Amino acid sequence: MKEKLNPSLRGITLRQLRALAAVVRTGTVSAAADALAVTPPAISQQLRLLEDTLAVPLAERSPAGMRPTDAGREVLAAHARIEAALADCGAAIAALRGMQGGRVAVGVISTAKYFAPRALAAFMRREPGVEIRLSVGNRSEILAALRELQIDVAVMGRAPEDFPVDFAVIGAHPHAVIAAPEHRLAAAPGIGLAALAGETFLLREAGSGTRDLLRSLLQAAGLEPGLGMEMGSNETIKQAVMAGMGIALLSAHTVAAELAEGRLVALDVVGLPVVRQWFVVRHRDKRLLPAGQALWDYLVAHGADYLPEVRLRGT
């Protein structure tokens, strides 16, 4: 039986959808007009036609500029899927015409930057015709890009559960509590989590996977962390720990060099290291073209070869 299109959607055009997306992205009708190289009245007309077709308001003014209504967010999500499908179609047609290579948009959480670029570089040497567009951000940022179909594949430490994805394991991902070599517990064996209750923890920003892991570990033990400074990068945290400003729970892969050189130590905490996994992830609605599928297969087969070597007590 042929599926019928909802009558309220028949009049919608791609031009109208792009006008709405531009207004929400830029915050004003005039800025959206500049972005799309049209006049402000043309943008206003497209928005009016779209709202008339759907019979609901899609954008509203706020002190920060135009923002989408609940209905507007639904329309923007549909628009993102349409644009992604068109991009995939264009790439597929180009491949059928005999063009070589392809392009893959990759999102990498910041903790994975200690190995993912080397894996990507090796893949590019193997497939020199493939162009990689790399984005690095915290977990929340990469999840948002993955959800909105802005990237083809992501490398992260935990697959999302609030939208449909496919994922595969790259390799083991240990986490440990690190301290300066002069820390009072640096050489202590079998440290209980309770002994860390009064310590100053140095944390990544909200949305970081390691911050969430620390909180869950301490809460499971009935403890609250003595929160210290929030820092925006693993590099800053490492320097602060070496300076004696506090301790931190970090991916062991981010501190492999410092541990090997004795500039940091991993505390022998009972129950640690926590060994999770590195994953390659894609949105289930995002069809991988040949270049993307080739990268996916390479990361699954060879990604673990690029993980930093680290020796921790308990592993």
The CATH fold assigned to 101-171+277-306 is D-Maltodextrin-Binding Protein; domain 2 (3.40.190)
> Given this model, what pLDDT does residue 5 score?
47
> Which residues does 169 contact at the CB level (< 8 Å), separation at least 6?
277, 278, 279, 300
Tell me which CATH code domain 7-79 carries.
1.10.10.10
Are residues 127 and 166 in contact, defined by beta-carbon separation less than 8 angstroms? no
Q: Domain residue spans in the chain?
A: 7-79, 101-171+277-306, 173-274
The domains spanning 7-79 and 101-171+277-306 adopt the same CATH topology? no
Residue pair 114/122 in contact (Cβ under 8 Å)? The answer is: no
pTM given for the model: 0.68
DSSP state of 191: B
Class of domain 173-274: alpha beta
The greatest distance separating any two alpha carbons of the chain, rounded to the nearest whole angstrom, comes to 73
Contact assessment for residue 168 and residue 279, using Cβ atoms and an 8 Å cutoff: yes
CA–CA distances in Å: residue 165 to residues 29, 63, 279:
35, 35, 11
What confidence tens digit (pLDDT) does each residue in 196-248 have? 888 889 988 877 888 888 888 888 888 765 556 888 889 999 999 999 999 99
**In the structure encoding, which two tokens stand for residue 257, read together?**
């060099």
Three-state secondary structure of 7-29: HHHCCCCHHHHHHHHHHHHHCCH
CB 37 within 8 A of CB 18: no
CA distance 82 to 88: 10
Residue 96 burial (CB count, 10 A): 8
Give dist(CA 209, CA 276) in Å, integer.
11
Q: Please list the pLDDT of the chain residue by residue as tens digits (315 residues).
A: 344 445 567 789 999 999 999 999 999 999 999 999 899 999 999 999 999 999 999 999 998 899 999 999 999 999 998 888 888 777 777 665 544 568 899 999 999 999 999 999 999 999 888 999 999 998 899 999 999 999 999 999 999 999 999 999 999 999 999 999 999 999 999 999 888 888 889 988 877 888 888 888 888 888 765 556 888 889 999 999 999 999 999 999 999 999 999 999 999 999 999 999 999 999 999 888 888 999 999 999 999 999 998 888 655
| Cβ-Cβ contacts under 8 Å for 101 (sequence gap 6 or more) | 127, 128, 129, 130, 131, 291
- In terms of Cα–Cα distance, which of 262, 196, 252 is closest to 224? 196
